[in-house]
Structure 1
Amino acid sequence: MEGVEEGLRWVRDRERDWALGARFGFAVLEETPEGPDVVGHVALKGLGPGRASAEAGYWTAARARGRGVAPRALDTLSAWAFEAFRAEGLECLELLHQVDNAASCRVAEKSGYAFGRILPSAPPSYPLDGHLHLRRAAGA
């Protein structure tokens, strides 16, 4: 993000998403001697009445990669989602990434998301094929 204005707009958009129940995002923080540092973000979206699945997503700052930050954050989000939305019938979480992103495949596998299938490209937004990974709720 570039600048305070863009950052504030991003935060306001996330607050609106929470209020609407459209997307639930969490900052991933790491304690430093200077205070908390944002090293990533995890989100849950696509929930709705009669929907048994939702999409999980994440990003990590370059300085946090390779230290297990993303798998721990994604695992925490997934456990929270299944607990928080059990009554609504949430049974499965989906994680999508481009086929050439081996690091995201490793994160998915470490977080209990099994490879599901290859998704065809859809240019211009998705110029490459993708991977769909799935994590099912216990007992689903």
Structure 2
Amino acid sequence: MHPTPIHLATGTLTLRPWSPEDSADLAELYRDGALRRWADAAVHDEASAARWVAAQQRGWETGDRLAFAVEETRVPGSAPRLVGNAVLKYAAGESASAEVGYWTAAHARGRGVAPCALTALTDWAFTAFAREGLTRLELLHQVDNVASCRVAEKAGFALTGILPATPPAFPLDGHVHERHAPTAA
């Protein structure tokens, strides 16, 4: 069974499935060099952004990649603004663990958007996939991505190990952060 795309709300943020209407905004966000460095998507124009969005929609259909556009409404009644991405990978498998990932738009960095979105995604994942046995989530990043270590810590993910580099895809060692499902009281 594949999960139905849903919306998650937390504070000023809403996490919702990506839609084709997001392509132009996504292409604009990917003009940021830091985002291109850390994110693995090949987005460089509106056409490639549309292909990326379509791939995220297929992930919902197969259940192996549940990606959420993260929007922020800072002023009540105003239009939401795209500020990032949060994704749950491989939760539909038969493993007790899955992977999470995220990225944040340049204009939203340093304001707590990433930890807030990651916490909302994590809490939802542990609830939505409890019957499937999901008990552990991993967050992976390169060791030189200090900001991701801070985000992981703020979202309750403990640093648990180092992944050795595997060039060319992963030229540097990586950090493994883990968060475990809360135990029933």
CA distance, structure 1, for counterparts of residue 178 and residue 45 of structure 2: 36
2:151 paired residue number: 107
Query: Aligned runs of 1:1-140 on 2, under 5 Å?
Result: 1=27, 2-31=44-73, 35-139=79-183
Give the C-alpha shift of residue 31 in structure 1: 1.9
User: Which amino acid letter does the alignment assign opposite residue 125 of structure 2?
Assistant: A
CA distance, structure 2, for counterparts of residue 17 and residue 126 of structure 1: 23
Give the C-alpha shift of residue 117 in structure 1: 0.5
- Deviation per CA, 1:78-127: give whole Å up to 9, x if none: 00000000000000000001101111000000000001101100000000
**Which sections of structure 1, spanning at least 5 residues, go unmatched?**
none
CA distance, structure 2, for counterparts of residue 127 and residue 7 of structure 1: 25
Tell me the secondary structure at the aligned position of residue 26 of structure 1. Answer: strand
Give the C-alpha shift of residue 32 in structure 1: 5.6
Tell me the secondary structure at the aligned position of residue 73 of structure 2. Answer: strand
Mark the CA change 1:48 to 1:32 in structure 2 (over 3 Å): closer, same or farther: closer
User: Per residue, is there more strand in 1 or in 2?
Assistant: 1
RMSD after superposition: 1.5
CA distance, structure 2, for counterparts of residue 125 and residue 76 of structure 1: 29
User: Which amino acid letter does the alignment assign opposite residue 148 of structure 2?
Assistant: S
Q: Work out the number of aligned pairs and report it.
A: 140
Does the CA contact (< 8 Å) of 2:64 and 2:93 recur in 1?
no
CA distance, structure 2, for counterparts of residue 14 and residue 65 of structure 1: 23
User: Which amino acid letter does the alignment assign opposite residue 115 of structure 1?
Assistant: L
Give the C-alpha shift of residue 48 in structure 1: 3.7
TM-score between both structures, scaled by the size of structure 1: 0.94
**Identity, % of aligned positions:** 56
CA distance, structure 2, for counterparts of residue 71 and residue 126 of structure 1: 24
CA distance, structure 1, for counterparts of residue 80 and residue 55 of structure 2: 22
TM-score between both structures, scaled by the size of structure 2: 0.72
Give the C-alpha shift of residue 139 in structure 1: 1.5
